[in-house]
Amino acid sequence: MKDIGDLKIDAEIALRRAMEIQDAAKAADRLPTAEEKAEIAANVKKADDCQAQIKEIREAEQLEASLKEKYQDFRNPGKRQTDSPERPDQTAEFRDNRIEVRSKVPAHMRVFRNSGKARQHDEEMAYKFGCFVAATVGGAGWAKRRMRDFSNNDRGINDAYRVMTESSNTAGGYTVPDEMSNYIIRIVEDYSVFAREAFVQNMSRDVMQVPRRTAGLTVYNTAENTAPTASTMAFDMVQLTANKAGVLTSYSSELAEDSAIDIAEQVGLEIGQAMGQKIDTCGFLGDGTNGNFGITGLVTKIEALDNTYWCQQRLVPINSFAEITAASLGKVSGAVMGSVKQAGNCKYFISPQGFDAGIGAVLAGLGGVTMTEGSNARPMRYNGYDVVQAAVLREESSGSITDDQVMLLFGDLRKSSTMGLRRELQIASSREFYFSQDAVAVTGFMRFDIVNHDVGGLIATGADAKTPMAALLADAA
């Protein structure tokens, strides 16, 4: 039997097909034919059937959950129904006329922060998420009671609570409400250069084809009263296939007893950081194997070519970051097509070590450093272009970099690469996995794909073959 997720996808596909038929008839300035009407009706009926099945599944799950809860209450008739008191020095209260935060608040939250609203809002969202995790993952009674306290006033939390109480998934596959998952998605972007800088295509299904422009229109010298020669744009397709990525972390039972916000911070930070780093590893260095979800990284693709391509640039005898010069940086930026640079999104991509010893040293050598610049961080721009530090990019291990390996990249990642993202963040749990450690295991799931589609272009073809991304490769000889 299909689960709710599969049924939702089937319903969406059926309705989309019905809309496509209707739109095609409208574009042709006509009414749908009898056959088209029949197909539209069949797809609408299929969607309705899926909705009916979803309703039946939810009713069955709700009944099962209700029976389990009554059975548990029968087994524990003396169970205390009030929140345990917290020590005054661990309590901070914040109100927005709806929610009372009953948890200690860390001085510097790293995940639930910078929402564009007040810190009070961020603290409340951290508390909501902590309660959600403790209730759905850990089954904590205090968290379930807190969910009930504010579920009626907040639609997002009300939906979350309904999932929590109706789901019969003993493994704990609970979908995080959008208003909470957005924080984790943001922390993934904070830790992932690729998720932040590449073109991100939200995927509505497991496999999608996205059009990619390969050639533009041609301008002709046209005589008076003469139609210009026709030209057409050329496109091909980039196929995205959603891969399921999972990460495992845990939190102690003591943490669940002490603070909901600490639970949210630990779970959110661990999941976000691990996912972000994996995305960068696949996007830049992926070798096409199953360990990298079949993704071939940008660096891997460029290194597989040779110096007959625009994307491979060298300046002998540079094979260490300390040897990087303004001329070498200019050479690699000059290999990127002018129209891409004019769009204003080109950037340098380099490892932190490479920036300190390479681009940072070139900047320092220019002179004119003010006291303010010297006491603060180095400027993250060179020659008008932002410099982005990516921790997964190559660093020196023995004072030099092997010839023909990428030292740094320059270009527009949005033009060279597409990241398909199914923004469904799920949390699953196991209370037995870390039984001996008195801890709760938590897994975070994310589905994505990366295609690096524009790195080729032969130099012999001319400047029109320049690509949106180029690299400086080591070459000591």
Task: Of 43-57, 197-211, 299-313, 452-466, give the range with the top mean pLDDT.
Answer: 299-313
- The answer, yes or no, to whether residue 318 has pLDDT greater than 60, is yes
Mean pLDDT of the chain: 76
Per residue in 212-229, pLDDT (tens digit) is 656 556 677 787 777 777
Q: For 418-464, what is each residue's pLDDT tens digit?
A: 998 876 566 666 666 666 777 777 777 888 899 998 888 899 989 88
Q: What are phi and psi of 449, to 5 degrees?
A: -150, 155
- Position 353 pLDDT exceeds 80: yes
Q: Could you give the residue ranges of the DSSP H alpha helices within 105-208?
A: 119-136, 141-151, 155-166, 178-191, 193-197
Question: Cα(476)–Cα(371) distance, rounded to whole angstroms?
Answer: 37
| 8-12, 370-374, 437-441, range with greatest mean pLDDT | 8-12
Distance CA 283, CA 414 (A): 12
Q: Among residues of the chain, what percentage have pLDDT more than 90?
A: 25
Q: Tell me what pLDDT residue 213 has.
A: 59
Q: Determine the distance from the C-alpha atom of residue 229 to the mean position of all C-alpha atoms in its chain, rounded to a whole number.
A: 44
In tens, the pLDDT along 37-66 reads: 999 999 899 889 888 888 888 888 888 877
Q: Which residue blocks in 28-89 are alpha helix, DSSP H?
A: 34-75
Q: Does residue 258 carry a pLDDT above 80?
A: no
pLDDT at 133 > cutoff 90: no
**pTM for the whole structure:** 0.64
pLDDT for res 97: 38
